[in-house]
A and B are shown apart, each in its own frame.
Chain A
């Protein structure tokens, strides 16, 4: 900046000065126009030709195309109206819902929302009361934790769409090379991870026994839950952070030990795409929802087929490749302290009818289709734990289904606090686990995080 206010000597009159000044103003004006030109692009939901149309928002690619087609076709058969499915990105979903759900012109008629985001909108009055529909679409057969997350003051607003519990994937060859058995308790799991890291069967630099990135609180929380701790607890009308409790601290000590001796994952990474280092031979284990099986691509199995190639030959090769990957990869539910499955963090989503939707009746019709036996079964067949527990059998009985069901049995949601989404929005837990990964004193870091959680929730 000093360079600008230097010797101001020349105030000579020069015809060009005027031009330069005008030039400056033009630059300014251009910049301002650039700013004000950022208009919004509104969506026009009006259907043409008098046919009623409703819109369903689904997030990410978790719902396969086959299921989407089924919804569209069945809905048209049963009601004569058109269903438009619009796919939304998980990232940035909360602010998008905040604006869209509040406007009658923009709101979708049925909306999928992450289970941890559900209470925020439920308490805000964003969703229509569906208590009278509750029994008809499954009642107490619906996943209870998810129903709780969608209920405010004994009124049901959002119901479970699907759940996906996390299971641990491991490389069988690496287990054999390091002489490690599949662990049956949480302590054995830690030992196995440390042993694998020390053995480093591939010799890759930065090898991880268990891939646990610094910001991965989705997986780290399992240790807190398993030790009997919680992220936040309700005391009277107040929510208080639960990371400082002796139970949580015990779990955190175990997590920190894993960070020290069992993982080389970067502290600045999160739970996204944990299969990448696994595929690269840089990690022996990772934890993810069981549909991660489709992302495993070990080099020794790769046949170099173009994923877009639809020919019979390519499809056969891809099938071989998948079989090879699944043969070399094992999966188990994270074991609990005393055996069995640990209490892990449950992922998944809820589905609800926005209060501002002008097509309440049609939306309820669609809700009935979603909770029909056919659709719930289709969800299960595609590896998602369906909202209605009665149809979970359709998951099949392969190792993935078994691991998913075992993990889901004890899975637990984040605290059902009205403002829990704010805790996630502020990334308090990402920051906290990153500090734990960096070797911070767990008690000190927890005290700081608890204060932030308490301030945010109340």
Chain B
């Protein structure tokens, strides 16, 4: 099954790690007199890499290779049950890429991804800064609240959100209509117009991702040395300048990684969109890449081709970050 995976529709790009090491022949090396770096300590780091590399090769490498192969075949349900698969070359890709609807979905997904990642980062950083400024009680309350939001299983939270926005019995409509007096909102359907659908989806996705950003950035901000901040303060920098010109640049590597992950996660968002679609949205008008691939999944080859296209898009969106990150690693 190539596409319909809720968690890992497209694997994130390879981590900034050394490639699989060719294991040098062990026996002769061991006998050689140890002059410079002992062989064992040179081998050690590579050995430590083996479990991670093996896990990635099995968990991501195989599905990825299989998806890639299938995308050049005609592979449907009948092939799954033993009929031989026919090679069709690039036909699946041509069919998809000449369909204007596919481009609409791609454009929608990228817009959704950038907007959500941007909002998540902005709110997450703001909350992180807030946590460094407020007193202990307020901070703990914030942290517990965010941990709960982060820790609750996605489907459980989705059920709650769905109820909140339910057009007939939802609390949101009731609040708008009863206490706030907007009678026309009493039976308003939030999901039926694509824009308002994405609005609801954005609220949910951002709500779910902000805690991760906030905690990570907060951890980063704690590492900013107090003396630098003090020095800046003595030099007359105001709070905004200290944050913007001192703290943020210092935690930039953390921000980069978090932003990169957000972009990847928001591009392949699936569960939230799928559940909201099932809650009554017009399906075709609201597909993003993840759900669109899922809808293709009866034609495994098409889904494989679309997933490969999505992988290319992900790499395209993140190549800037990855290159930059690798460069910073080398400094």
Contact = CB atoms under 8 A, between A and B. Distances in A.
Contacts of A6: 244, 248
B237 to A, nearest CB: 12
Given A1-B259, A10-B249, A14-B225, A101 B121 contact: no
Contacts, number: 179
Interface stretch (A46-54, A296-304, A419-427): A419-427
A4 B328 contact: no
B284 interface: yes
B223 A25 contact: no
Contact of B56 (A36, A126, A206): A36
Interface in A415-434: 419, 421-422, 425-428, 430-431, 434
A39 B255 CA distance: 30
B216 interface: yes
A91 B8 CA distance: 21
Contacts of A9: 245, 249
A102 B15 contact: no
A239 interface: no
A269 B254 contact: no
Contacts of A98: 1, 77, 80, 298
A264 B249 contact: no
A35 B7 contact: yes
A24 B186 contact: no
A366 B117 CA distance: 54
A45 interface: no
A355 to B, nearest CB: 7
A396 interface: no
B254 A23 contact: yes
Contacts of A308: none
Report, as a range, how many residues of chain B touch the other chain.
Answer: 35 or more
A103 B8 CA distance: 22
Nearest to A356: B81
Interface stretch (B22-30, B33-41, B136-144, B274-282): B274-282
A198 interface: no
Contact of B8 (A25, A35, A121, A123): A35
Contacts of B192: 214, 267-268, 434, 438
Contact of A269 (B168, B186, B283, B295): B168
Given A24-B253, A36-B60, A39-B59, A431 B325 contact: no
Interface stretch (A26-34, A227-235, A379-387): A26-34
Interface in B158-182: 167-168
B93 to A, nearest CB: 18
B281 A95 contact: no
B303 to A, nearest CB: 11
28 contacts: A1-B118, A1-B259, A4-B252, A7-B249, A14-B225, A14-B250, A16-B225, A20-B251, A20-B254, A27-B257, A28-B257, A29-B52, A33-B52, A33-B55, A35-B8, A37-B59, A95-B4, A98-B1, A98-B80, A99-B1, A125-B78, A125-B81, A266-B167, A270-B280, A425-B298, A430-B282, A434-B192, A434-B282
